[in-house]
Amino acid sequence: MSFQLEMNRSAKENHSSLVLALDLPPVEPHQLLSRSLNLLEEVHPYICAVKINHHLVLPLGLFDGIPRIVGLAHDLGLPTIMDCKINDIGDTNRVIAEFYYNAGFDAVIANPFVGWDEGLQPVLEIAKRKRRGVILLVYMSHKGAFEGYGQKIINPQTGKLTFQYLVFAEKALSWNADGVVVGATFPEKIKEVYAVLKDRVPIYSPGVGVQGGDVEAAVEAGARYLIVGRKITLAEDPSNVAKSLRDAIKGCAEN
């Protein structure tokens, strides 16, 4: 089953469009692994996928502690996304993607800044062969995102002045990406990207909670999945927070 179909299945079964960003503060590796596994067990009924980044891979090891987390997620029926932001030359990108896919991840996040030829082409080709996913980073959730993703450029296809993130959205279509990331902190950007993608490529939006993103604004603008980390992982009652977020997203989507 393809990554997009896996996401659709999980979202339907759990009645959720909430992706858990398993971001935890640094502690001893054995404690970090234990807390990650316990947290995942606690909130899994309310989420549709798990996103992991360098917070866990660096201290736990890609083929040591990480497979236990990925394995538990899969046992719970949850797809896993590696937030590695692939951003190098093609040969290096290919190796990066192969390592993460071989470690069990269902999708990787990649940066379209590096382009297609000798850039992300090998990643998309490997993903297709392995029936895994590639999600493109179109607009990040932090304040400085405008310095790169928000700059104005000449669209190489049309010769017209436009925003970098809109060209990245177009690339998501032409490259057959499985999703795009647009920060929930910028609902106006979500709306613009959705106007390009419609329902052909789902939008994943991080930044709800600690960064100030709003559930209703992001969903109404066109976000399909909301990625939430610290609001859940640092909560006294993560399960209750995850349930509340799941229900809030569901309510917005139904209105």
With beta carbons less than 8 A apart as the criterion, state whether 193 and 222 touch.
yes
How does pLDDT run along the chain (255 residues), one tens digit per residue? 799 999 999 999 999 999 999 989 888 888 999 999 999 999 999 999 999 999 999 999 999 999 999 999 999 999 999 999 999 999 999 999 999 999 999 999 999 999 999 999 999 999 999 999 999 999 999 898 888 898 998 888 888 899 999 999 999 999 999 999 999 999 999 999 999 999 999 999 999 987 888 899 999 999 999 999 999 999 999 999 999 999 999 988 777
Q: Please check whether residue 203 is in contact with residue 172, taking contact to mean a CB–CB distance below 8 angstroms.
A: no
> Catalytic: 85?
yes
Strand partners, 251: none
Residues 126, 131, 136, 142: is their CA dihedral positive or negative? Answer: negative
Q: Find, among 255, 142, 150, the residue nearest to 192 by Cα.
A: 150
Residue 236, classified by CB atoms within 10 Å of its CB into exposed (0-12), middle (13-18) or buried (19+), is: exposed
The pTM assigned to this predicted structure is 0.96
Q: Furthest-apart CA pair in the chain: how many Å? A: 54
Provide CB contacts within 8 A for 79, sequence distance 6+.
Answer: 3, 6, 7, 10, 48, 49, 50, 73, 106, 107
Q: Which domains does the chain have, with CATH numbers?
A: 3-254 (3.20.20.70)
How buried is residue 140: exposed, middle or buried, by Cβ count under 10 Å (0-12/13-18/19+)? Answer: buried
Closest residue by Cα to residue 100 from 134, 146, 143: 134
**Catalytic residue among 12, 85, 191, 198, which?**
85
